[in-house]
Structure 1
Amino acid sequence: MAQKKLLLIDGNSVSFRAFYALFRQLENFKSPDGLHTNAIFGFKNMLDALLKDVEPDNVLVAFDAGKVTFRNEMYDDYKGGRQKTPSELSEQLPVIRELLKDMGIESYELKNYEADDIIGTFATLGEENNMQVTIVTGDRDLTQLASDKVTVMVTKRGVNDLEAYTPEHMKEVNGVTPTEFIDMKALMGDSSDNYPGVEGIGPKTASNLIQKYGSVEGLYEHIDELKASKRKERLIRDKDKAVLGKKLATIDRHAPVTITLADTKLREPDQAALRQLYERLNFRSFLAKMNASADGTNEESATETYTFEELNSENIDELTNIKGQEVTFYLAMLGENYHLAPIEGFCIKANGKIYASENSELLTEPVLKDLLEDKNIKKNVFDIKRTLVGLDRLGIKAQGLDYDMLLASYLVNNENNSNDLGEVAHLYGEYSVKSDLEVYGKGKKAAVPEKDIFYNHLAAKVAVIEKLKPELLEKLKDHEQDDLYDNIEIPTAYVLAKMERNGFKVNASTLEELDQEISKKLTELESTIYQQAGEEFNINSTKQLGHILFEKLGLPPIKKTKTGYSTSVEVLEALKTKSPIVSKILDYRQLNKLESTYIKALPEWIMSDGKIHTRYLQTLTATGRLSSVDPNLQNIPTKTEEGKQIRKAFVPSTPDGYIFSCDYSQVELRVLAHVSGDENMQEAFKSGYDIHAHTAMRIFHLDSPDEVTPLMRRHAKAVNFGIVYGISDYGLSKNIGISRKQAKEFIENYFEQYPQIKDYMDKAIKEAREKGYAETIMHRRRYLPDIHAKNFNVRSFAERTAINSPIQGSAADIIKIAMINMQKKLDELKLKTKMVLQVHDELIFDVPQDELETIKKIVPEVMQSAIKLDVPLIADSNWGHNWYDAK
């Protein structure tokens, strides 16, 4: 007879995880009556996955009955430091229980006891009845229940990424058995449950002590054997805390539950009740699965079928009279790089009908070409930039693309950076369209399916683009982001498409010459390294390098990994003064990376027109900054002379032309001065002071800029930019090589001199905690679910992000406005100058010789007038006959 299976779920913990896993989409998950539904949706998905994987006979979901339990009688402040459950989650918990009931799953709570105790009790009952028990939780306290018959699955990220804790895994992770873990917790204490342990005892020490003495009791029986130390003194002093901690940490395996194991038997779902619940919550995907099951269709392959016509020369004239209407259009390309990817077909919805075709040449027919180039016919698309570039390859200068589902979704939820239409649609409960991965496959094996499947996939795309438009535009309006969408992101997409098609001319011969120089230097470095090592070896092999440095040459190993000695850059930098070979290895690595990543790789991206056409990812970062790929031209190194030399290969496209560069001066600090309203910093910028020298004067209490040394200025610069990123005294001390005490003084002096910046930082964190997101000047949002995290490091990172995102994001918005205005100016003056690259705060132009004087004047003017701040924007210009000389 097969062994029965019992599934036990920590209801509060998993609900909490589900809530925060989809927190960034909180406003996307609402029922028609305004109930937030993200936790319910995530919990249901987790349940479905667990029921499928575990195939349990019995299931119980345990909940906490309230904050006060028998543990509070032992210790008043037990769990006293916990944040109040967000109301958006609290309102969903009763519905989760309703969902469980309709699914035929027992849920239970017990006054004066925690969900942990209920689970511990039923895990014990399951073991006694020879059942295989699986526990699912987000709380590692429950790992003490692991045994030969009990596996504890702990959520890592979200709710479906689970780590299985068995007695063997417990030993591997913590060095102790499951029951010894209780004693380990007793010594450490628990900041989450708010009870103290022994002062100064962390996980490693606690584990070592329990491994040696077996338990808290065993430790104190042998306490006299410990050597005299501060640790021993603390152990003796805090004995009562350790004993109390063990009682608090121990799960009650015999709680007075009023239900039996038989009550947890998995029942048949109430399909009618579930249908009503899904309709009430607007869970369209779950309804679709129910309908598919009722029809006998495989749920995973269930896809809505659309009515479409194949477009051809016989019916193309139906698209002639579209004036006054809007159309929805999708261009199918197989591959991410739309400069090179084959155009496989297209789909268009007009006159209430959907037309699809595999023949992209039809797009060049006058009927369709005129329609796409008519700016008065509004088009809905997914990814304007991709569409513009793809059509431009066919000689079509598309206009009137004024709705972009990708950009709208990105602004609503910029933590989701998928550029797959199907995946984006799934965020809003629309599962009628599959992802491209599902339809085409992956990598080299990707292929367009047979015609009917392909056409239905395209039809589903245009239908969803149109269907989700009102919902997404309404969300943008609710977030006050409609101006950001209409006047920044949409126009930026047009500008980027133009820049990508412009491309940047590259001299391959310059790169070849540089390759020869670098190769020679690498050969010389290899020879020197071999001589200093006393033998030849593979410098790129971590294992062989580790042997040479730490065994043969006897250098002190700073860090070890599972596979041996670490030879990371950080380790080598720390060893530079120990042996001359280390500096040579660092030089070798730097040049080797430069050669492989850029010098040899860039020529492969030069197209037939002699130019590199990089792609900009407009929806990748949460801050709104643009990223360059295929290839990345924003990351060409500038710290070394060899790295800078690469820029000599980037040249104008006209004889005797110029490369013109213009970049904002300290734009993020100027934004900080604006958003903080700090009078001292604003005065420095308004007066045209060197801001770093000005800061140095203030934090070092100097009377004149003449007293500022280069070192003082460097330190002040590090503080200025560090503050923008919420740097700590530890981080600053590491960055500039001073003591932590000095760094702390620098930061304190900084805030004393710029008090309103400290006020801004405190306010930014407070607002992020209240709202769950940070916001730029233009209302670009960055959601911060970790702002309430219990883990100090995780929470601190979210707090630093709350401070920095409005600054970095506003700077990103400013450069986009400058790009838009600059392109308008070039078009207005009918100049041949082309904008060819954006590197964050810098714009780069390909300028004919006779337009240089005009460009010198208008580019700084346009950039400096992009937005009105409380301090002036300054843009600095340089130019030369290649990109290197323009710096």
Structure 2
Amino acid sequence: MAESDRRTVAVIDGNSLMHRAFHAVSANMTAPNGDPTNAVFGFMSMFLKLVQDFRPWGIAVCFDKGRPAVRMEMLPQYKAQRPPMDEALSPQFPMVKDLLAALAVPVVELEGWEGDDLLGTLAREGAGQGFDMLLVTGDRDMYQLTNDHVKILSTRKGMSDVAVMTPEAVADLYGGITPDLVPDFYGLKGDSSDNIPGVPGIGPKKAQQLIERYGSLDGVIAHADEVKGKMGENLRAHIDDALLSRKVATILCDAPVELDLESTAFPAFDVPTAREAFARLGFTAVATRMLRLVDKDAAMEGAPGSVATALKLPEPMVGDAAREALAKAAEEGQWLGVAMDAVGDGSLFGSRALWVAVDAGLLRFDGDDADAVLVTCLEQHRVAAVDVKGLMHEVYPLDSAKAALLDITKVAPGSLFDVAVAAYLLDSAKSSYTPAELAEQFLELAAPEDANGSALAAYVSHWAQPALVKLMDQAGATGCFDTIEMPLVPCLAQMERTGMRADAAAFREQATEVKAIVKDLGDRIYAEAGERFNIGSPSQLSHVLFDVLGLPTGGLKKTKRGFYSTNAKVLEDLARDSQVVADVIDYREKDKILKTYLENLPKVIRSDGRIHTTFNQTVTATGRLSSSDPNLQNIPVRSELGRRVRSAFTVPEGWTFLSVDYSQIELRLLAHLSGDEHLIRAFNEGEDFHAETAARVFGVPVSEVSPLMRARAKAVNFGIVYGQGAYGLSQTIKTSTREAQEMIDRYFEAYPGVRRYLDQVVADARELGYVETMFGRRRLVPDINAKNAQARAAAERTAMNHPEQGSAADIIKIAMARVQQELENRHARSELIMQIHDELDLQVPLDELDEVTELVVSTMQGVVSLRVPLVADPSHGKTWAEAK
């Protein structure tokens, strides 16, 4: 058979994908009858993406069945450490098998055999029969099966992050370990997830080095006497364990599987049967996409609303017809769905097409007309868009050296409708709000894959707008949208265009200094280790610290990749007794600042000498703004090096940075929302709040509160706001979990109103499925009633902290828009340039400093009336660093 004639059969590791799906999709998803379906939904979503992205000729799915008897005969403790399957996942396996049956996808399972061995058997048989086999799994031990006709589709985050593993890719990944040596590799390093022992003290890096040196596990064993130190002792003492581990890790390819691969052809299912199966589970959108694989027309049949309709974009009107249709729509007060299609480099006056969706159809304006019509729409009409602020920047460019065609002061917030922001207010936990997703969710339309992206965005914006208005009204989100989010859009557009003045020479000078420090630290670490390695690699660092240097591993857990963790907490604990670990921490911090900021920030200074970040309204679940391209909110403020980075952000001569920061806003909101009389009194009397808490928690007069008591009380205060439990607090204040719990208990005894309030918030969330801020910003907590204790506890923490965090986010947003409006009203030259958490930053002429400081402070403090004072503290300086 010619290579070009070979057909591809995908064989899916059903258990692997089901477990990944279960943990990736909200546990609150249920079928119409109330049965949990999150794993089935996630599995089918990944199944569909496999079909769409890789288009296999055939598909089969393998599942484990019963205890893994074949391997347990070799190794009785095999997988014995694994906890029982979650009770919400177990009943979903029959559901997914029923759905696969309705899709005519063969399911393969054999009593006592694992899915891995079934995949291995089918891979060998399929390749021998002239098929190319694609094995879909998250298990890395399957890499041993790769060859010219067997590839592994390695799932990392479902099907959104996959790697196609060939023999060459496997060798690259493991530093020369070819597929046939993968069992030898596991024989040495073991696999903690499956309870395969390997050789103690030999992790992935050392296993790779040993095999590279001696050729195989057998070669390593033959030369075991040459391996020095503790590792050599372990190797010689555990030769039998290594050989057994290799045997257990070897995928069996001789399972008694009876499957005719010709029967795996996909899609070959009956549409009515499949439609009924999907309908029983309530999977409308997935059903639509799946059924369209067979028959696009048949997929649209059935009960109204049972599946989404395929979206078909109308042919666009151009020229006079487009202008007339636009004028009519604007006169009628229609919301215009608008999107810009920039061709080439996307520059302000490049080749461009503006798409506008109206009731009469789809309009397209080209060239100079595109910019002119967009300006008219924004200044005079009602505009709906997937990214209104991004649309503004098409005619109001970020680089302030480029002329603006748009007068931003003429843009009325009430005439803006950002459909992505509206969708975000309805569910802030989603990771994206693309036009295709919005079409599917709010219009029940499946977007065609070949649609023009901008045309689709305009169409969806126009037609989804009324649906979103209705849903926001039902969810109580209209006020938040109209009074907080949309008024913020022009404000943010101005801040982004203004940008922050940056000194490229200062960045370069700092980079040179820090690079030298990083090199010196690296050399010291290499000298201590006796070898050069990648300090930024967790696995290589783990090998050096624990295998080479022999640092203690008591209480440490191995990662899924088989090496001890080197996260910040582990390193911080080890650094108390190890200078090399202290150097590693210092190296990591400085290297991160060097690469993230000092080397990168000069590259993004635009022709106006400024850095222009983008503020995002639809990223954080709490409602806070985030910053990207570049992220200027995360520059460390407490470290000396972080402050130096900030010192490179300057203002013109005769100007100053003004920074105004809300003081303890979340704690003040907790006092207000809980109504606790003791908490309210502490703030109203103007005392040192943390010292007052310490006095109440430790039972001493305020005058006797020590700095350590105050620090611990401060940690408790903020921990309560963030829903922190005893373990988290114990890690923060370096004490036992028991002592931390005692402090939390004493806190609630001191402030009983807080305990009652938080309990009530959680109880309400259990009933409603969401929590709200003071301003109606709703956050869904779908796992609040989950059977899984970990998921439920996380949802409870979210419920407890969202009213404070989300309200703080609302307040700073309201303040921003009001400050901007006041500056415009007074024709001030001062400009807002940055927002970070509870802080607003401005660049201010010195002759306006007093007036603008009073304006900003009074505006921020006047956003809302609380039971306690809302305090905003100003400071200023010549650089961003000096202003704080």
- TM-score of the aligned structures, taking structure 1 as reference length: 0.68
Q: How does 1:119-138 map to 2 (within 5 A)?
A: none
Contact 2:340 2:353 in 1 (8 A): yes
**Residue 339 of structure 2 corresponds to which residue in structure 1?**
330
Aligned partners of 1:513, 1:159: CA distance in 2, in Å? 44
**Residue 75 of structure 1 corresponds to which residue in structure 2?**
none
**Residue 357 of structure 2 corresponds to which residue in structure 1?**
349
Contact 1:303 1:432 in 2 (8 A): yes
Q: How does 1:252-271 map to 2 (within 5 A)?
A: 271=271
**Residue 166 of structure 2 corresponds to which residue in structure 1?**
none
Q: 1:518 to 1:774 in 2, by over 3 A?
A: same
Q: 1:571 to 1:556 in 2, by over 3 A?
A: same
Aligned partners of 1:791, 1:25: CA distance in 2, in Å? 11
Which of 690, 709, 712 aligns to 1:712? It is: 709
Secondary structure of 1:835's counterpart equals strand
Contact 1:532 1:581 in 2 (8 A): no
Q: How does 1:403-482 map to 2 (within 5 A)?
A: 403-428=417-442, 430-434=444-448, 456-482=452-478
Which of 855, 859, 867 aligns to 1:858? It is: 855
Note the C-alpha offset of 1:532: 6.7
Q: How does 1:186-585 map to 2 (within 5 A)?
A: 271=271, 283=284, 286=287, 293-294=294-295, 304-309=311-316, 311-312=318-319, 316=323, 319-320=326-327, 322-326=330-334, 327-333=336-342, 344-350=352-358, 352-359=360-367, 361-365=368-372, 369-374=375-380, 377-393=381-397, 395-397=405-407, 399-400=411-412, 401-428=415-442, 430-434=444-448, 456-522=452-518, 525=521, 529=524, 533=528, 537=532, 540=535, 555-557=551-553, 562=561, 567-585=566-584
Contact 2:27 2:38 in 1 (8 A): no
Note the C-alpha offset of 1:486: 1.1
Alignment-mate amino acid for residue 381 of structure 1: A
Alignment-mate amino acid for residue 509 of structure 1: A
Which of 699, 709, 718 aligns to 1:701? It is: 699
**Residue 135 of structure 2 corresponds to which residue in structure 1?**
none
Alignment-mate amino acid for residue 618 of structure 1: Q
Alignment-mate amino acid for residue 605 of structure 1: V
Contact 2:316 2:363 in 1 (8 A): yes
Contact 1:308 1:459 in 2 (8 A): no
Contact 1:278 1:287 in 2 (8 A): no
**Residue 849 of structure 1 corresponds to which residue in structure 2?**
846
Aligned partners of 1:54, 1:625: CA distance in 2, in Å? 46
Contact 1:433 1:464 in 2 (8 A): no
Q: Over residues 336-395 of structure 1, what are the superposed CA-to-partner deviations in whole Å (9 max), with x where a residue is unaligned?
A: x99999774320124723222453x22344x65334321xx2112111111112221362
**Residue 752 of structure 2 corresponds to which residue in structure 1?**
755
Q: 1:364 to 1:735 in 2, by over 3 A?
A: closer
Alignment-mate amino acid for residue 622 of structure 1: A
Matched, 1:823 2:820: yes
Aligned partners of 2:595, 2:42: CA distance in 1, in Å? 44
Q: 1:341 to 1:557 in 2, by over 3 A?
A: farther
Contact 1:668 1:807 in 2 (8 A): yes
Contact 1:676 1:760 in 2 (8 A): yes
Aligned partners of 2:599, 2:193: CA distance in 1, in Å? 47
Aligned partners of 1:97, 1:535: CA distance in 2, in Å? 55
Q: Over residues 847-878 of structure 1, what are the superposed CA-to-partner deviations in whole Å (9 max), with x where a residue is unaligned?
A: 11221111111111000111222222100000
Aligned partners of 2:114, 2:840: CA distance in 1, in Å? 63
**Residue 785 of structure 1 corresponds to which residue in structure 2?**
782
Aligned partners of 2:587, 2:818: CA distance in 1, in Å? 44
Q: 1:25 to 1:650 in 2, by over 3 A?
A: farther
Q: Over aligned residues, Cα RMSD in angstroms?
A: 5.8
Note the C-alpha offset of 1:106: 13
Secondary structure of 2:883's counterpart equals coil
Q: 1:571 to 1:157 in 2, by over 3 A?
A: closer
Matched, 1:880 2:884: no
**Residue 595 of structure 1 corresponds to which residue in structure 2?**
594
Note the C-alpha offset of 1:842: 0.2
Contact 2:442 2:468 in 1 (8 A): no
Aligned partners of 1:279, 1:575: CA distance in 2, in Å? 55
Q: 1:120 to 1:477 in 2, by over 3 A?
A: farther
**Residue 680 of structure 2 corresponds to which residue in structure 1?**
682
Note the C-alpha offset of 1:408: 0.9
Q: 1:308 to 1:742 in 2, by over 3 A?
A: same
Note the C-alpha offset of 1:617: 1.6
Which of 799, 802, 819 aligns to 1:802? It is: 799
Contact 2:435 2:456 in 1 (8 A): no
Aligned partners of 1:545, 1:120: CA distance in 2, in Å? 42
**Residue 609 of structure 1 corresponds to which residue in structure 2?**
608
Aligned partners of 2:715, 2:359: CA distance in 1, in Å? 60
Secondary structure of 1:309's counterpart equals coil
Aligned partners of 2:673, 2:460: CA distance in 1, in Å? 39
Contact 2:387 2:419 in 1 (8 A): yes
Contact 2:325 2:360 in 1 (8 A): no
Contact 1:773 1:802 in 2 (8 A): yes
Q: 1:606 to 1:174 in 2, by over 3 A?
A: closer
Contact 1:786 1:798 in 2 (8 A): yes
Aligned partners of 1:752, 1:369: CA distance in 2, in Å? 60
Aligned partners of 1:100, 1:868: CA distance in 2, in Å? 58
Q: How many residue pairs get matched?
A: 737
Secondary structure of 2:784's counterpart equals helix
Aligned partners of 1:84, 1:582: CA distance in 2, in Å? 42
- TM-score of the aligned structures, taking structure 2 as reference length: 0.68
